[in-house]
Structure formats: C-alpha cells, structure tokens
Chains A and B, each alone.
Chain A
C-alpha cells in the first residue's frame, strides 16, 4: 500500500540560503513521524511547503499515491493535511466553536451561522479522542494546553488525517506534554498520521515511531527510537559528538551575593507580576528559576538588573541595597546580565561585533581615555575575545545582525564573562540555540560558578534548569512556590509546582 504522504526531492532556495536540499520523506498511515533538527535545519520550511504557504523550487508531493499540487492552505486542507502552528492561530475573543468553524462555517438559510451544529460535531470529536474541550468557552480564558487541543480539533473538524505539529511542546508544562502525548497516541491508534517537528531529543524518543533528522536542509538519516539513542541523535543533528549532560562537581556555596526580600514588581499593564519574592544566591552556586513563561520571571530579572522599578521589597547585592540603583551602578557592582531577548536587549544589531563586545565597559580605561574611545584597544580586545569564545564571524567589524543566533549569544557571553563579575543573571541563555551552542554555553556557566561567581539562571526549559542548577526555585503567578535542592528534586515534582499545585499537595501526591 502506498504511504499516506510522500515527499520526493523537495528543494527550496531563499536568497543566499538553500533551506531544503532534495528532501525526501515518507509518512505511513497511523504513524508518528518525528522531524528532528536544529533551528535553521529546514524543518519549518519543509512543512510550510507541505501546507501550501511556500512553493517548492523542485520536487514532488504525493498524497495517498496521487501527485498533489499544493498552492495554498486551502489545497492542503482539501487533501486532508492540517497544521498546528508553533504560535497558535486562534482568535482570543472567539469561542472554541467559532474558532473551529471559521472558514468551514455551518450555516442555516445560506448565510446565518449555525453554532449548535458546530458544537455538536466538536463534542463528538472531543469525545472520540478524549480531548475534553468545552465548545462554548472563550479562547482567552483557556490554558495553553487546552488551546493546543482546540488547534487539533480544528484539524479533525476539517477531516484532516495528516497532522503536522510544529514544535508543539515549546509552550507546555511537563504534565501538559504528557497529556499531549496521550492524545497523539489516541489519534495515531485511530489511523491519523502525524508529523511531529521538534528539536527536543527526549520527546522524540518518547513519542516517535520513526525519526528523520535534518541538518542544513538535508536529510541526515531516518531511524527509530529502538535503534538509536539521544547521544546518537544529537550527533546526527549537529554533525559531531555532543555532551548532553554538563559535567559538574558539587557546588561549594560561599557568602550570599544576591539577597532579595519580598520583592514586588509591576508588569507593563500595571498588574503585579512579581508578588513578594524572597531568596538568596550565594557565591559558587547556581540557582535556577523554573516556571512556565509569563509567570513573572521576566519582570523579576528586569527588577534585579535595574531595568524596571521595584514596587516593593528590597534587593541587596553584596550587602549593599541596590533596590533603586541604576543599571550601570548594578553592573559596576559586578553583575553580568544575559538578557532573555538577545536581539532586543542584549545587542545593538547594526553595530559591529567589536562595539557590541564593549557595550558596558566602553567608557572605562583601557577602552576610553579621557572620554575618547581608543579604537585600537577595542579592536585588539575584540580579536582576542572572538578567538577565546569561538565566535564564528567573518571579522570583528561585521555587524552582529548578520551572525547566527548561537554566535550572537556567544558575543553576549564573551562581553559579560570577560570582566570580573560576582553575580551572573542569565535569562534563557540558550533560547533558540542548537545543541552544540547549548553545550558550550552551559559549560561556560558552570566554569563561572566554579570560579566563585553566584549564578541566577532563569529558563522555561526544565531540563536546562535541572541540569545546571544546585537549587531550583519554581515560580508560579509571580510567587516562588518552593526552592528545592537540585539533586533530590524530580521532574514530576517541579512540573506540578510549575502548574500551580502547592508544595504540601505535591509532597502528598508524591509520597
């Protein structure tokens, strides 16, 4: 029997980039096929071609043995292909039913919407696959995990039997990921075929029937979880051996460097985003802050680095009150900051690498003498740092905007790590980076810790927090749910805390 879907020699060129280079792929009926690859490997481009958002330059698509021309999403929908986008395509002020029927509305008398009919069909689909979604609920009131199920319902409502999920777990808590996997298994057991795009090795091993690895727009190989291991997959993705776990010795915590007392911070809309947080970070230890994005971590880091005023509470760095200090004053106390959004807050994109490397020290000797920049010293220092931190750039005069994400991040790390620092505040330091760069940055952070630097690591990636931290603080709705020692904390425990379950209840369920 012909495969449900077959891609043959798909090639797509963008100006200067070969995004897809003769990619061939088959999808069998009822299969969960993982498409694994780093950012920029061409996964999303390939799927956008399949969904009719891009046109391929070469290659053919066969659906159930028939040659298919997919020019626009409507064609894909007609062929039974549906896609759950990384950023949900849901209208927040519409109900579930309105979102689901948009584009294929049930109507009475030719024009009037028939919401009841849609609701009936959504209930039926919801029951069949165990989705548990209320068709009358407004999207904006639903948690992210449920919104994702609405996206899946949208596909099933259109009778899609080839489902593409683009990085579906990026926004979910570990428990929600488990729920999603249950749903995916239910779908595949009832004959739906699924393409699962991700760069997370653990998920691939847990859910996939087959795995195809992409690198630089090419298929590196296809395998199954039984025949491979995480290490092997990582090597296929990156093209060399990668250490997945950071080697680290037990921490030797010293004196407290950062002390936060009952800190409160408002967000942009005037809501209290951080609601009374207290903790300390000591020299020589990594404190990781875990939590689903949007639970006050951003505002917490901004307050600590002086970028956002505190609404209440106090911040001490090396026993000095810096609650109302300016960002430069905080910097000069020996604080390094790797910001969450490197392009917006970490770099001046149009500046050359060399200038970005001295953004926080340019006014000090040796870079400036009596208020005048010394270009030669700046350039010489930049050459040295670029070599030392392995920044891949044509020259130190290249604008950082033309570097890859991983190399941009290395520029920030090089700038922040190469001055004497006592406290490192790293917010999502590996966001969007490939496995190779992640390994590098993790190793650097642990090095800093071992030099006696205090590290506050904020990340929504639970694996990263668990890997690097000595203690883990879990944030939920602006508060710290609990601070746990990393060696005894379990993923389940942290996941429940991240979802808002209280510490006592977690112990009760676990024990």
Chain B
C-alpha cells in the first residue's frame, strides 16, 4: 500500500512526516511574505539595491537595481506558495536545495520591504557579512582540526581572546616602540598571536592527552585563564599606555582583475590579507584532511584511535600536533579581530565568537567549508541587523535582532539534519 505521502517522501529519501512539514514550511513562508511584507505597502513604491560599493572600488560599475516593491513581493510570495504546493502534491527530489531557495526568497523579500522607498547598498551588506564571518569561520576551522582527532576544543574562545591581546600588544610594541614599518610590525603582531594560540593549544593537548583531564573542564579552565589574564593585563598595561594598544590594521589589497568583477569583486577580492589567508587555509585544511596521509590518520584517530594505534599510527603525537595547530588557527582568528578589523584590544572583545565558531563547526558537519558556510550565515545575520538599524525599519529592534537568527535556525535545522561527530570525540585514549 502506497499513499501519495509515501511517494512524496520516497522521492526525496526522507520520511513522510518530514516531507510534509517541508511543504507546509514553504507555504508558510509564502504566506508570511504576503501578510507581513506585501500587505499594506503603498503601491508604486520602489526599492533600490545599490550594487557598487562606491569610493575607491575598482569594480566595473553596474547600474543600481530598482524594483517595484509590491510586485516583487507578490512574485516572491507566489514562488514560495507554488514551491510549497508542488512539494505537498509531488515532492522535490532535492528538497534541501528548495528549502535554501525559500530561505533566500524570504530574506530578499524582507530586504525589499525594509528598504522600500529607500536605497540599500547590497554589496556593503555582503562585504560586512564576510568580514563578520571570518573570525567565526577561523574558530570553526580550529574546532575542525581538534575534533577530527577527537579532542574537544571548547577553549577556542579563550585562545582567540589571547591571540587578540597578544596581536594588539606585540603589534603595538613593534610599531610604536621599536618603530618598525607597518607591514613588519603587523606581521610581528600576527606571528606572536599565532604563537600564543599554539601555546594554549599545546596546553590543552597536554591536559587532554597526557593527563586525560575531562576536555570540557580543561577547555573551560583555559577560557577562564585567558579571560582573567587578558582583562588584568589590558587594565594594567593597555589602559595605562595607549600607544601599546594601537598596532594599526592590514590595509585591503585589491586583487588585480578579480576585483573588477561586479558585486563579487568588491565583496571578496578587495579585502585585507587575513581574509585571503582564511580562504587559503580553508582549502588547505580541506585538501589535507581528505586527500593526504596526514588527514587519513587524523580522521582514523578521531574515529577509532585503537585501530589507528594497532596499525602503528601514533595517536598521542597526532593529537598533540593537531590541537597545537588548532590553537594556532584560533590565535589567527583573534589576530584578525585586531589586525584585520578593529585595530585595538578591548576586554572580552571576542564576545562568544569562539563558541559560535564551534556551532558553525557542528552545523558544517566537521568540515572546513561546511563550517565556513555556517559562519557566513551567522555573519550575514549579524551584518543585516546592524544595517537594518540604520534603515530605521518600523519594527522593534529586538525583533530585528531576532529575525535573522530565526531564519538561520530554521535553515540549519532543515538543511543539515542530524550531525554526527567523530566517534571518539572527547574521549581520552589509554594505551593498553
């Protein structure tokens, strides 16, 4: 016996209930676009999306996109309703893709409504989203490196904070005390931050691998240590001597040719060196993890350390190396906050980005690019909320803060499904 529902579910390879829920979610998205946004919008208003950042950007100028607000919203609402109806009646094979499409439509509808009668710089939004995603993605990458060999690194937050402090202090010392030229002093700050991160990583490794301390507790201890030390030193040193908290920042570098691409050029290829470093790291870790001997051994240690051990793979050494590397990447994330973004250290400035990075790692299923994708969604939500405050949207700011996260949660829960960590994650390894 096969009901239409079973056929719908079978097509997408998901359960009937899940397939049906998707359909209703799509319909609900369409209805909300209609009721929340299109309804009551004065006819004839237009929304203008600016697609060029202006200023010194090298991107080939393209005209602004001017859309009739209400018509656009109707089209988007109809699209969602149609997709929902199709899902309920027939079912999509790649239902997750459709879900992303719906989420995208919803966000565009929201922006169209929010910027109705005004103009809104879309490239600016995307640029800011990427910048806010970088530290989260790096934190996530740090988590991937550690957890792939089964050490839970909850100390990323503390490592970032320490990295940020060290980058600010050492960068300032090099620039303002030793009077080094900018590139050299910034690089010195960066390398110091990497070293600081590596040291904390090594500390975590020693606690987790050598002394088999509970990894959550070891990580929490490192977080508390980092918070305490950086706050103390910041109050004692950075607040006293302002010139020690002024390392400067890496200036954006336009990549020739690439930066001329409309929209993508100014968003991706007019960034500072640390953003490019992140992209290179993502690709490098991805390739190393899945296509090299080191990666195979790392993953084996994370899934079944005893199996790896019996085949002569050194479990302890693998964990020491990976966790130290993970600490380094977390230090880089901290350095980015200083040298690639704000240019000065403030107490507790990481504000949970390390933990959000861990969440990104989980949503990204413990893969570098997955973590980056999740980080982009978080970064986008963050950027959107600041831009909307500027647009003076007629809804309470608390809801503005909430809405992007709500969409994020729905998308992540729907698209990602169950996340399976490495099998030995968090377990100390005992030699026989």
Contact = CB atoms under 8 A, between A and B. Distances in A.
B293 A91 contact: no
Interface in B288-311: 291-297, 299-300, 303-304, 306-311
A73 B423 contact: no
A83 B310 contact: yes
Contacts of B295: 113
A74 to B, nearest CB: 4
Given A74-B312, A102-B297, A103-B312, A89 B304 contact: yes
Contacts of A107: 292-293
B46 to A, nearest CB: 52
A105 to B, nearest CB: 4
B313 interface: yes
Given A77-B312, A112-B292, A91 B432 contact: no
Interface in A39-72: 48, 51, 53-54, 72
Interface stretch (A25-33, A92-100, A366-374): A92-100
Given A48-B432, A94-B300, A105 B293 contact: yes
Contact of A113 (B293, B307, B312, B432): B293
B310 A91 contact: no
Contact of B304 (A51, A72, A73, A90): A90
A91 B299 CA distance: 9
B310 A89 contact: yes
A103 to B, nearest CB: 3
Nearest to A53: B432
A85 B312 CA distance: 15
Contacts of B297: 102-103
Nearest to B288: A111
Interface residues of chain B: helix, strand, loop or mixed (majority):
helix
Interface residues of A, number: 28
Chain B CB within 10 Å — which of A48, A51, A102 has the most? A102
Chain A CB within 10 Å — which of B292, B306, B309, B311 has the most? B311
Given A73-B312, A83-B310, A103-B313, A112 B291 contact: yes
Contacts of B310: 51, 73, 83, 85, 89
Interface string A97-120: 011011111010001110000000
Interface in B303-334: 303-304, 306-313
Nearest to A154: B311
Contacts of A105: 293, 296
A72 B312 contact: yes
Interface size class of B (residues with CB under 8 A): 20 to 34
A66 to B, nearest CB: 21
A102 B294 contact: no
B293 A92 contact: no
Chain B CB within 10 Å — which of A73, A74, A91 has the most? A91
Given A102-B296, A113-B292, A91 B312 contact: no
Contacts of B308: 91, 102-103
Interface in B244-296: 291-296
A492 to B, nearest CB: 34
A162 to B, nearest CB: 15
Nearest to B304: A91
A91 B291 CA distance: 17
A98 B311 contact: no
A73 B432 contact: no
A154 to B, nearest CB: 8
A104 B312 CA distance: 9
A89 B432 contact: no
B309 A73 contact: yes
A332 B309 CA distance: 50
A108 to B, nearest CB: 10
B88 to A, nearest CB: 26
Contacts of B299: 91, 94
Nearest to B294: A111
B29 to A, nearest CB: 30
Contact of B311 (A48, A54, A93, A103): A103
B291 A102 contact: no
Nearest to A74: B312
| Interchain residue pairs A-B with the least CB separation, the first 3 | A103-B311, A89-B307, A74-B312
22 contacts: A53-B432, A54-B432, A72-B312, A73-B310, A73-B312, A74-B312, A77-B311, A83-B310, A90-B304, A90-B307, A91-B299, A91-B308, A92-B304, A94-B300, A101-B296, A102-B300, A102-B308, A102-B311, A102-B313, A103-B297, A111-B293, A154-B311
Given A92-B423, A102-B297, A103-B297, 11 more contacts: A48-B432, A53-B432, A77-B311, A85-B310, A90-B307, A94-B299, A94-B300, A103-B308, A111-B292, A112-B292, A113-B293
